[in-house]
Structure formats: C-alpha cells, structure tokens
C-alpha cells in the first residue's frame, strides 16, 4: 500500500462491514469497526472475532451477517482466547499445508468485555504472543445491557448503576487506564485512537496493528448516543472534543517507544467535552463546581504524565 493516506482511495475499497446492521444511528462502534477493517489490504483475508456486545447482537443476528470475512463469536468474556484459538488453528493448518494465503485475526470487544469480564482472557492472549489485533471499542459503560457502569466509566458519569440522587453523584471512581496496562505487557504495538476527522489516525494505527507481527492492542474511543446522552448527529463533534480536551489523548507505543500522535493547538477545558452529554449534566448544577474542578485536575495530571512518557 502507498504510505500516504488517502481517504478517497480507502473508501473506494469494497466494504468489509456491510450496511444494514442494527447499530444505533450516531453510534461510534460501526464507524470504528468499518475503519479498522478498511486498513486490511484488499487481497488479505481476515477472521473477525467478537465478544458479546452491542456490536455482536447488531451485526450477526441469525441468519444475517454484516461481515464479508469469516467471523466468530463465543461469549462475553473470552474474545481474546477465542482469537488465540483461531490463530492457533491457522498455525497448525499452515504447518500441515491445509490452509492457503495470508489470514489476519482481529478481535472487537466493548469496554465491558475488555476492561472487566474479558480482562484475564485479554492479558493471557497478549502474554502468549499470538499474532492478532485486539480492538476495544470503548464506550465507557455496559451499553448492551442498558448503560451500567464499567471500570472504563469516567468519574461522576451517570449510569443506571451509578444514578444521581440525594446521596449519589454518579460514578465514584476514575476510569481504569487500560491502554497503559497493555503497554505494561511489553507487546509490539499499543495505541489509543478515535474515529476522528478523515480517519487518518484510526487508519494508520489499525494498519500498523494488523501488519505488525505479534499481539497488538488498539483502544478506540467509541461514543454512544444512548449512554452518553448526546444528540446522535454529534458523534464526530463529541469525539473531537474528547481529543481536544485531552480527555482521550491519541498516542501509540511501538516496541516500547511512546509517541504522541496529536497535540491540540489549544487544549480545551474538560467541561467543553462534558457539557453536551446528559451523563454529566449534574456536574453543571450549582454547588457542583468542585466536580468540574476534580475532573479537570485528573485530566491535567494524566496529560502531564503522558507528555513525560512521550517526551513531547
């Protein structure tokens, strides 16, 4: 492939996630999955592995699959192990001359299936070193079951298990930093990205992850209009705000070398990201200014640390 990214050329490739699936309008997941799969070289085959999730129930409802590639879903908590199994089969059958051509292995799971219930399976697969890509489409809560908190849900966010009431102000804990945990696995490639603008960042990182030998991990922010409570037409804007406020920094760690992918020209205040989302509306009530301050302070700390890591 040409090393210069060209959106027009990319979108002219045959789609690998076809239309007609049942994901919500304004959902990030479909855009993320289509974007990652677009990075495959056209002649290469893939096996897509999926954890139980919104994505799974929306894209493979019997008897219709939205994928042009082979696809497998087994359960919620084992997508990485399932991908290990497909890759193991490929190695065994290759050795015995029973499979032809190049096949790539790409796993998609939500944050529930990745940060929480599928965490052990993911860690095991990464440590074993399977040649696979694991993509977390992170929408920051259990959306498929109706918006319950996960360890990826940010501080103060309202979910159905962290509701707002006289004694409750949303989630009490900060978001787990899964990307850094994956960096600590010392795998060849870890990146944080988002479906942004012309999708160059998502595309470039997906390509690297797919075509770097060994286990690679992508954490992709994937806004959810139902769970985050924003107007569905705002998907691109919300994503952009997450990046420009440094709530979701874009970076990659390649063979242990940290690199920042994007520094906002003007780092926007966190409340610009929080304000359009219903899940944070209580933070803007009078007397809750401390919540906005706490959120800002946390983002600033994380951003400073990332600048140090990347030497930016």
Partner 1 sequence: MSKPLSGNEAVAYAMKQINPDVMGAFPITPSTEIPEYFAQYVADGEVNTEYVTVESEHSSMSVCIAAQAAGARSVSATSSCGLALMYELLYVAASCRLPITLACVNRALSGPININADHSDSMGARDSGWIQIYAENNQEAYDNFIMAMPIGEAPGVRLPVMTCMDGFITSHAVENIELLETDAVRKFIGEYNPDNYLLKKENPLAVGPYDVSPYYMEHKMLQAEAMKAAKVRILEVAAAFENISGRHYSLFEEYRMEDAQLALVLIGSSAGTAKAAVDKLREDGVKAGLIKIRIFRPFPGEELARALAGTRAVAVMDKSEGFSANGGPLFAETRSALYDLKERPYLINIVYGLGGRDIKVGDIEKVFDRLMDITVTGEIGPVYSHIGQRSKEDIV
Chain positions contacting partner 1, by CB under 8 A: 45, 47, 49, 56-57, 60-63, 65, 67-75, 77-78, 81-86, 88-93, 95-96, 98-101, 103, 120-121, 123-125, 127-128
- In eight-state DSSP terms, residue 170 is S
User: In terms of CB distance, is 136 or 241 closer to partner 1?
Assistant: 136
Q: How far is the CB of 50 from partner 1 (least distance, A)?
A: 8
Pick 47 or 283: Cβ nearer partner 1: 47
How many helices and strands (H and E) does the chain possess? Answer: 11, 12
- Taking the complex as a whole, how short is the minimal distance between the CB of residue 185 and partner 1, in angstroms? 13
Q: How far is the CB of 150 from partner 1 (least distance, A)?
A: 20
Nearer to partner 1, 92 or 312 (CB): 92
CB nearer partner 1, residue 88 or residue 263:
88
Q: What is the rounded CA–CA span in Å between residue 48 and residue 28?
A: 18
Nearer to partner 1, 124 or 264 (CB): 124
Taking a C-beta distance cutoff of 8 angstroms, is the pair 104, 43 a contact?
no
Cα distances from 116 to residues 124, 224, 298, in angstroms, run 14, 18, 22
CB of 221 to partner 1, least distance (A): 25
In the DSSP assignment, the letter for residue 139 is: -
Output the smallest distance, CB 31 to partner 1, in A: 21
CA angle 87, 92, 44 (to 5 degrees): 50
Q: How far is CA 308 from CA 141, 161, 163, 302, 311, in A?
A: 29, 35, 36, 10, 5
């Amino acid at each position: 492939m040409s090393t210069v990214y060209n959106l027009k050329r990319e979108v002219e490739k045959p789609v690998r996630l076809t239309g007609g699936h049942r994901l919500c309008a304004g959902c990030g997941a479909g855009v993320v999955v289509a974007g990652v799969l677009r990075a495959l070289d056209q002649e290469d085959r893939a096996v897509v592995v999926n954890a139980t999730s919104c994505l799974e129930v929306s894209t493979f409802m019997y008897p219709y699959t939205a994928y042009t590639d082979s696809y497998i879903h087994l359960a919620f908590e084992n997508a990485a192990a399932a991908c290990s199994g497909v890759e193991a089969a490929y190695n065994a059958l290759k050795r015995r001359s029973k499979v032809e051509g190049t096949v790539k292995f790409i796993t998609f799971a939500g944050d529930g299936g990745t940060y929480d219930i599928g965490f052990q399976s993911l860690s095991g697969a990464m440590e074993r070193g399977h040649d696979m890509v694991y993509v977390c489409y992170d929408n920051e809560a259990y959306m498929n079951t109706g918006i319950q908190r996960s360890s990826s849900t940010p501080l103060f966010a309202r979910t159905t298990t962290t509701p707002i009431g006289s004694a409750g102000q949303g989630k009490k804990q900060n978001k787990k930093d899964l990307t850094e945990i994956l960096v600590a696995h010392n795998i060849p490639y870890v990146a944080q990205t988002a479906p942004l603008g012309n999708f160059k960042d998502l595309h470039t990182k997906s390509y690297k992850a797919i075509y770097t030998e060994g286990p690679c991990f992508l954490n992709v922010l994937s806004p959810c209009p139902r769970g985050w409570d924003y107007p569905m037409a705002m998907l691109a804007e919300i994503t952009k705000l997450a990046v420009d406020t440094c709530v979701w920094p874009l970076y990659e760690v390649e063979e242990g070398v940290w690199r920042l992918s994007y520094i906002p020209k003007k780092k926007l205040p966190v409340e610009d990201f929080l304000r359009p989302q219903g899940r944070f509306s209580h933070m803007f009530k009078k007397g809750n200014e401390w919540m906005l301050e706490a959120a800002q302070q946390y983002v600033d700390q994380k951003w400073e640390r990332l600048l140090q890591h990347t030497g930016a």
